[in-house]
């Protein structure tokens, strides 16, 4: 997808090289991001003490990590390094259970994250309301929530690295006071207080929900793995350090609350407030990058995959912030219970995906692998699963109803996304370098070819497989080859080839594999063969992915256009703009595929895929310096214009914009000649009489194109377009001729030669009724040219007299033009330095004398009289100057002979 600026790597490798211009997150910021994702400090544990007493609170924070935190951290380390991309747990579940459930996983985790994030602005104000009573409620509280959410959202927009280092500062600031309280209060320990418990009055639901809320969300960091430096090593280390930090944090915080005093109230209040800020920015990063990862997998519109100038997912951040604002009115207990319920559903799917991938793809690349076998992996998931069931069972009917409705909404959204994609309401696409998940699971690192037995291609394709399975039309598993129809198998092969062809090679990077380049060329040739076959009709789904692949390969950044050179010494047939593209072996086949689609697929079918944006991008490729590419573009663009009649007006306007920008702004474009060649065919099809729109194009676009310094690069095509207009309406000839004379060059001899030839061809098509009006200005310009000191210009102007139509035009107005012509001829014969020019001039003179000997003699006599008068005038002028110089010399001599006179000036 070209608008994403995101590239992916294969499973188990480092994160995207495309994003190297954005600073990666290192281990220390990552530790504190995990810290704030999971707990965020010793704040919020008050409810566990209130619900169950100090003994159960201590036991919970001491032993809960064994049941939940350690298993979830280990699973996150293995799966996160196995899938180093921002999709995180969405990709885990999609790989194991199919993208339908991957989408549901993403929906539930994102919704639970937004619900969780809605809590932190509320808690921030709750911790400060004792110092600022106005924040307790009403309009000031609403304004404070909005301002705080906006400020923290902007921090997320500025970059994940900033968020990481802010998390470090906030984490240290929030932990130090509690560590000091714990150390100072050690002499005052009273262990008998720890045993205070009243089992009859324990609120088990609030107790478990608070524990669960304080120590979950270890997997949220997986949606940021694509932004992590060396994720294979950094992620496991960060999870280990964060686990130690979280464990000690919970233990000491409870002790501090049991025995601490109030002397650090101000510090603790400030630490509590900033801790909520840290949790907000960490959760916001996870939620927004999750949406980015889903968009890069084709599950969400590609607008969610667009990054800001700081590398952050701007749309995802705004979307998540809007959800936070809408849900910030809920209470603490409602928020915790609702998000835990949704989170539990999602975690069950993660555990299933972890076990299934362990069993189904044991040889897949895992930079970090939990040191347990398949049986150990199953037992690792049993304790947290049991805890999940307990939390679900203790949910209140209200929370359960709201959460179930939220889950059902996800089942409604996914078909809506599919429908929106088919209707082209939103644009869905996948990154061109996205790894082919299932085909690479059992493969070797770097293997370019996946096993044919493993069903692969794209997540969107698996979405369709799941849809058919759910509807009952196809009860086979995506990995069950024996139950698939031949059509499904063939369709899958096509999609697999398209997926491979989405990989972009520059042919200049030494790290690129020649074998993979050859593989892509082979797959492109296969796709070309399929498009050439008249028996194979491509359905809408394949067409959409084929057009996406074509877009990913063609629409790429081009180098800045070169300045149009003044090529006076180049031969006419030498191409001015031709710089071969190294990736042409792939581009050539892609262009052939696109041409075949345009030729053989119904335009109404392609209309949903070849839209205005596609045509604009295609037009921008005419900036390419490769002549071969521009030639292919010219052919395809012309074919689209011919078949897609509903786009003709838009395409003409788009090309006009290119011409106008070139002519009046940049004068830098490599493809003006090719675009004019397309226009030549278009003009050839215009009906007579011409529309006013077309005449304005001639006046405002084509004629001004004659003034460019680099006109010789496209003059042949420009002259053809102009001549087509004049042939259809000869009355336009005078307008064109005067326009060319208006932009006649002064010092560019090569342009003069070309324009003389264009004027000669123009005279052949001009309406004879305009001869008398055009004869004098044209003959005046031709005469000036034949008097040129440049022999090529002079000779070309003299050859015009071999044109019968030009001579006929001169004959129509002999009395007006002969004085100018005869004067120019005589000047050449007397003064020109070139012998060949003098010889040609003598030949033209003979022809002119034969046309009207008497008139020629009169004009010659008049010329001689004018020359004689001019000579006499010149002699008079020189005589005047001689007398002036004599008088001046005499006056100067008298000044030396006479004594100097002084003038007395009174004081």
pLDDT one-digit tens code per residue, 340-360 = 677 777 888 888 888 888 888
Residue 630 has pLDDT above 90, yes or no: yes
At 250, the pLDDT band (50, 70, 90 cuts) reads very low
The larger pLDDT score, comparing residue 338 to residue 825, is at: 825
The contacts of residue 691 (CB under 8 Å, 6+ apart) are none
* Residue 202 backbone class (left: φ over 0; alpha: ψ -120 to 50; beta: rest): beta
Over range 562-566, report the average pLDDT: 48
Percent of the chain with pLDDT over 90: 25
Of 234-238, 313-317, 442-446, 821-825, the least confident: 442-446
d(CA 647, CA 658): 17
Residue 655 has pLDDT above 90, yes or no: yes
Q: List the structure tokens of 666.
A: 């940049």
The larger pLDDT score, comparing residue 212 to residue 854, is at: 854
d(CA 72, CA 451): 32
Over range 653-681, report the average pLDDT: 92
The larger pLDDT score, comparing residue 101 to residue 535, is at: 101
Residue 437 has pLDDT above 80, yes or no: no
Of 100-114, 124-138, 621-635, 849-863, the least confident: 124-138
d(CA 79, CA 95): 11
Q: List the structure tokens of 432.
A: 């061109």
- Residue 135 is classified by DSSP as G
Q: List the structure tokens of 848.
A: 């002119």
DSSP string, 793-826: HHHHHHHGGG-HHHHHHHHTTHHHHHHHHHHHHH
CB atoms within 10 A of CB 677: 22
Over range 826-831, report the average pLDDT: 89
| Sequence ranges of the domains in the chain | 2-422, 777-897
The contacts of residue 200 (CB under 8 Å, 6+ apart) are none
Reported as a single tens digit per residue, the pLDDT across 375-403 is 888 888 888 888 778 777 777 777 778 77
Of 567-571, 633-637, 767-771, 871-875, the least confident: 567-571
Report the pLDDT value the prediction gives residue 784, as an integer from 0 to 100: 94
Q: List the structure tokens of 93.
A: 């579940």
At 408, the pLDDT band (50, 70, 90 cuts) reads confident
Q: Of 1.20.1740.10, 2.40.160.20, 1.20.1260.10, 3.40.1350.10, which CATH number belongs to 2-422?
A: 1.20.1740.10
The larger pLDDT score, comparing residue 836 to residue 182, is at: 836
Helix 749-765 with 733-742: angle, nearest 10 deg: 170
At 449, the pLDDT band (50, 70, 90 cuts) reads very low
d(CA 453, CA 481): 7
Report the pLDDT value the prediction gives residue 205, as an integer from 0 to 100: 66
Of 147-161, 282-296, 564-578, 595-609, the least confident: 564-578
pTM: 0.47
Of 84-93, 467-476, 800-809, the least confident: 467-476
CB atoms within 10 A of CB 486: 7
The answer to whether residues 622 and 669 touch, using CB atoms and an 8 Å cutoff, is yes
End-to-end CA distance of the chain: 92
* Residue 507 backbone class (left: φ over 0; alpha: ψ -120 to 50; beta: rest): left
d(CA 474, CA 464): 11
Residue 295 has pLDDT above 70, yes or no: yes
The beta strand positions in 666-719, using DSSP E, are none
Q: List the structure tokens of 515.
A: 């074998």
Q: Which of 7-16, 236-245, 258-267, 651-660 has the highest mean pLDDT?
A: 651-660
Of 424-428, 483-487, 830-834, the least confident: 483-487
Report the pLDDT value the prediction gives residue 476, as an integer from 0 to 100: 36
At 433, the pLDDT band (50, 70, 90 cuts) reads very low
Over range 326-351, report the average pLDDT: 69
Residue 148 has pLDDT above 70, yes or no: yes
CA atoms lying within 13 Å on the CB side of residue 810: 25
Report the pLDDT value the prediction gives residue 452, as an integer from 0 to 100: 33
Report the pLDDT value the prediction gives residue 724, as an integer from 0 to 100: 93
Q: Which long-range contacts (CB under 8 A, 24 or more apart) does 436-442 make?
A: 436/496, 436/499, 436/500, 437/11, 437/91, 437/94, 437/95, 438/95, 438/478, 438/479, 439/496, 440/10, 440/11, 440/364, 441/11, 441/95, 441/357, 441/360, 441/361, 441/364, 442/361, 442/363, 442/364
Q: Which of 307-316, 697-706, 873-882 has the highest mean pLDDT?
A: 697-706
d(CA 68, CA 74): 10
Residue 199 has pLDDT above 80, yes or no: no
In the chain, % helix, strand, coil (3-state, to 5) comes to 75, 0, 25
Reported as a single tens digit per residue, the pLDDT across 835-850 is 999 999 999 999 988 8
The larger pLDDT score, comparing residue 699 to residue 17, is at: 699
| Average predicted confidence (pLDDT) for the chain | 76
Of 3-17, 203-217, 508-522, 818-832, the least confident: 3-17
Residue 865 has pLDDT above 80, yes or no: yes
The answer to whether residues 366 and 81 touch, using CB atoms and an 8 Å cutoff, is yes
d(CA 828, CA 831): 5
């Amino acid at each position: 997808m070209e608008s994403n600026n995101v590239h992916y790597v294969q499973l188990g490798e480092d994160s995207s090289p495309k994003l190297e211009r954005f600073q990666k997150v290192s281990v220390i910021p990552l530790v504190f991001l995990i810290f704030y994702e999971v707990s965020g400090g010793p704040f919020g544990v008050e409810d566990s003490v209130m619900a169950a007493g100090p003994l159960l609170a201590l036991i919970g924070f001491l032993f809960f990590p064994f049941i939940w935190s350690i298993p979830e951290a280990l699973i996150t380390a293995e799966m996160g390094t196995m899938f180093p991309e921002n999709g995180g747990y969405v990709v885990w579940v999609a790989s194991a259970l199919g993208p339908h459930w991957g989408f549901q996983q993403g929906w539930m985790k994102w919704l639970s994250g937004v619900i969780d994030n809605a809590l932190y602005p509320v808690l921030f104000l709750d911790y400060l309301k004792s110092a600022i009573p106005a924040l307790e409620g009403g309009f000031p509280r609403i304004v404070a929530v909005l301002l705080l959410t906006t400020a923290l959202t902007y921090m997320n927009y500025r970059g994940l690295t900033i968020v990481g280092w802010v998390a470090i500062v906030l984490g240290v600031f929030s932990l130090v006071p509690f560590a000091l309280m714990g150390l100072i209060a050690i002499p005052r320990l009273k262990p008998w207080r720890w045993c205070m418990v009243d089992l009859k009055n324990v609120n088990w639901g609030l107790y478990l929900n608070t524990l669960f809320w304080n120590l979950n969300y270890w997997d949220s960091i997986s949606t940021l793995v694509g932004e992590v430096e060396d994720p294979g090593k950094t992620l496991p280390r960060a999870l280990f350090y964060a686990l130690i930090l979280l464990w000690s944090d919970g233990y000491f915080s409870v002790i501090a609350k049991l025995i601490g005093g109030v002397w650090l109230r101000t510090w603790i209040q400030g630490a509590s407030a900033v801790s909520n800020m840290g949790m907000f920015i960490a959760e916001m990063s996870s939620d927004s990058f999750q949406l980015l990862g889903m968009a890069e997998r084709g599950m969400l519109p590609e607008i969610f995959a667009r990054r800001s100038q700081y590398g952050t997912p701007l749309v995802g951040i705004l979307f998540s912030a809007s959800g936070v604002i809408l849900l910030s009115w809920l209470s603490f207990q409602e928020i915790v219970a609702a998000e835990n319920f949704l989170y539990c559903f999602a975690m069950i799917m993660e555990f299933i995906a972890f076990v299934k991938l362990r069993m189904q793809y044991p040889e897949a690349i895992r930079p970090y692998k939990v040191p347990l076998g398949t049986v150990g992996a199953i037992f690792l998931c049993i304790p947290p699963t049991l805890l999940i069931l307990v939390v679900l069972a203790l949910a209140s009917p209200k929370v359960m109803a709201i959460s179930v409705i939220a889950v059902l909404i996800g089942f409604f959204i996914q078909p809506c996304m599919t429908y929106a994609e088919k209707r082209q309401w939103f644009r869905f696409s996948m990154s061109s370098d996205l790894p082919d998940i299932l085909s690479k699971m059992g493969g070797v690192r770097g293997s370019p070819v996946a096993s044919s037995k493993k069903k692969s291609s794209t997540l969107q394709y698996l979405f369709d497989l799941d849809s058919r399975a759910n509807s009952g039309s196809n009860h086979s598993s995506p990995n069950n080859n024996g139950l698939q129809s031949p059509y499904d198998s063939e369709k899958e092969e096509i999609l697999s080839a398209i997926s491979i062809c989405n990989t972009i090679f520059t042919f200049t990077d030494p790290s690129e594999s020649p074998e993979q380049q050859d593989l892509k060329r082979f797959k492109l040739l296969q796709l070309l063969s399929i498009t050439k076959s008249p028996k194979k009709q491509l359905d809408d789904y394949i067409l959409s992915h084929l057009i996406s692949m074509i877009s990913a390969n063609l629409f790429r950044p081009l180098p800045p256009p070169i300045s149009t050179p003044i090529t006076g010494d180049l031969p006419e047939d030498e191409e001015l703009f031709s710089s071969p593209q190294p990736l042409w072996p792939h581009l050539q086949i892609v262009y052939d595929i696109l041409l075949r689609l345009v030729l053989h697929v119904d335009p109404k079918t392609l209309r949903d895929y070849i839209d205005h944006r596609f045509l604009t991008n295609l037009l921008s490729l005419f900036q390419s310096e490769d002549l071969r590419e521009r030639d292919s573009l010219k052919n395809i663009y012309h074919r689209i214009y011919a078949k897609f009649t509903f786009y003709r007006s838009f395409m003409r306007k788009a090309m006009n914009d290119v011409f106008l920008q070139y002519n009046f702004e940049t004068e830098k474009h490599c493809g003006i000649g090719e675009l004019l060649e397309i226009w030549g065919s278009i003009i050839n099809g215009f009906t007579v009489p011409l529309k006013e729109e077309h005449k304005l194009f001639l006046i405002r676009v084509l004629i001004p194109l004659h003034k460019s310094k680099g006109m010789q690069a496209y003059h042949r095509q420009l002259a053809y377009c102009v001549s087509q207009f004049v042939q259809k309406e000869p009355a336009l000839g005078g307008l064109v001729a005067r326009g060319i004379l208006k932009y006649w060059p002064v010092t560019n001899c090569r342009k003069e030669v070309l324009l003389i030839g264009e004027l000669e061809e123009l005279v052949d098509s001009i309406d004879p009724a305009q001869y008398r009006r055009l004869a004098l200005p044209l003959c005046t310009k031709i005469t000036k040219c034949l008097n040129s000191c440049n022999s090529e210009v002079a000779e070309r102007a003299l050859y015009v007299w071999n044109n019968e139509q030009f001579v006929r035009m001169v004959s129509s107005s002999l009395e007006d033009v002969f004085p100018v012509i005869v004067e120019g001829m005589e000047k050449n014969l007397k003064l020109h330095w070139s012998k060949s020019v003098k010889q040609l001039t003598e030949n033209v003179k003979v022809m002119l004398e034969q046309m009207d000997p008497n008139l020629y003699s009169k004009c010659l006599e008049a010329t001689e009289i004018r020359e004689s008068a001019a000579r006499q005038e010149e002699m008079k002028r020189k005589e005047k100057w001689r007398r002036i110089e004599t008088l001046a010399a005499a006056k100067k001599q008298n000044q030396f002979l006479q004594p100097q006179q002084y003038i007395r000036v009174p004081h």
